[in-house]
């Protein structure tokens, strides 16, 4: 979870900074876009081995310090040589980070020099808690690695429900997580029932992941439209942002958030070797 004021410094001109983080760390890094100006936070997806995401945490810490020096807001009130990374962790998984009587989190802080804090309650309309890690880039790297290892060794139980935090939800009057059993109502019926017009939202996905969202001959995106009762289209990459493609979603607030949830799941589960052929066959939908 990244402060909106720091996003520009993390991405860099033409995406140069985030590209360097990807290349040098080996981690997959992307920042989801938002068209809502009032949003103060953005979601960053960071995926890879424990070693690669820890290296990425070090580099992101350096970039956050540089961004703050260049005028970005210091909402975390960090020291000049420190930064803060905020992880979104399922409420059922934070126990592995804290440990019995707080033993694990105490060891993490003592051995890395970072300060680690876990929010008391999940973030609005989600099953995720915020885990804040504050320290120098080296401390962030060490603490991030220990926490990532704990999460790998203590996975969620099969069947655990997970609803991801969405900073955009307030723009739609609150997000009602999609039920695993109830079918979404058609957009026309919902609009007629509550007397509202369909909304439109745009998000960005990495270009390399577009194939897994579209599917062979558009099979996946058709299924996403049917499940969410939302119109979904994916634009071609812009010349100044070749690594991202904009996804436009139109429908009810609940339908849009359901679609965003499904798309994010696909992006986070993306495996390059499974979709190379799909990427070569992408067309606009």
| Cα separation values, 174 from 120, 139, 166, 177, Å | 20, 36, 10, 10
User: Is the same domain home to 217 and 109?
Assistant: no
Assess if residue 124 is contained within a domain: yes
Question: Which domain covers residue 273, as residue numbers?
Answer: 185-280
pLDDT digits (tens, 9 = 90+) for 125-160: 788 999 999 999 999 999 999 999 999 999 988 888
CB 169 within 8 A of CB 142: no
pLDDT band at residue 114 using 50, 70 and 90 as cut-offs? very high
Whether the predicted pLDDT of 122 surpasses 50: yes
pLDDT digits (tens, 9 = 90+) for 16-65: 999 999 999 999 998 887 656 667 888 898 889 999 999 999 999 999 99
User: Is the same domain home to 100 and 191?
Assistant: no
User: Is the same domain home to 45 and 135?
Assistant: yes
φ/ψ (deg, to 5) at 220: -70, -45
Burial of residue 158 (CB within 10 Å: 0-12, 13-18, 19+) is exposed
- pTM, two decimal places: 0.61
pLDDT digits (tens, 9 = 90+) for 169-182: 544 333 333 333 22
Residue in the block written with tokens 């059993």 = 181
User: Is the same domain home to 143 and 241?
Assistant: no
* Residue 230 CA, distance from chain mean position: 21
Integer Cα distance of 137 and 114 in angstroms: 9
Last residue of a domain, one of 103, 129, 153: 153
User: Is the same domain home to 20 and 136?
Assistant: yes
Assign residue 57 the CATH number of its domain: 3.30.310.210
Task: Return the sign of the alpha-carbon dihedral for residues 235, 237, 241, 244.
Answer: positive
């Amino acid at each position: 979870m990244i402060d909106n004021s720091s996003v520009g410094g993390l991405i860099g001109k033409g995406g140069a900074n985030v590209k360097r983080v990807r290349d040098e760390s080996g981690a997959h890094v992307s920042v989801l876009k938002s068209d809502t100006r009032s949003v103060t936070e953005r979601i960053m997806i960071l995926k890879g081995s424990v070693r690669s995401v820890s290296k990425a945490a070090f580099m992101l810490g350096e970039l956050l310090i540089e961004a703050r020096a260049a005028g970005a807001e210091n909402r975390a009130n960090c020291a000049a040589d420190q930064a803060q990374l905020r992880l979104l962790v399922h409420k059922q998984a934070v126990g592995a980070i804290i440990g019995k009587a707080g033993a694990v989190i105490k060891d993490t802080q003592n051995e890395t020099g970072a300060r680690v804090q876990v929010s008391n309650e999940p973030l609005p309309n989600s099953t995720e808690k915020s885990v804040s890690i504050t320290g120098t880039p080296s401390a962030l790297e060490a603490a991030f690695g220990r926490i990532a290892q704990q999460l790998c060794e203590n996975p969620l139980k099969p069947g655990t429900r997970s609803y991801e935090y969405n900073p955009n939800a307030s723009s739609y009057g609150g997000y009602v997580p999609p039920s695993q059993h109830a079918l979404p109502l058609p957009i026309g019926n919902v609009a007629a029932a509550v007397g509202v017009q369909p909304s439109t939202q745009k998000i960005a996905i990495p270009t390399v992941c577009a194939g897994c969202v579209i599917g062979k001959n558009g099979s996946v995106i058709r299924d996403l439209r049917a499940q969410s009762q939302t119109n979904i289209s994916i634009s071609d990459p812009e010349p100044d942002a070749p690594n991202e493609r904009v996804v436009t979603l139109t429908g009810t607030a609940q339908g849009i958030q359901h679609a965003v949830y499904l798309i994010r799941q696909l992006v986070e589960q993306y495996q390059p070797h499974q979709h190379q052929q799909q990427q070569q066959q992408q067309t606009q939908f």
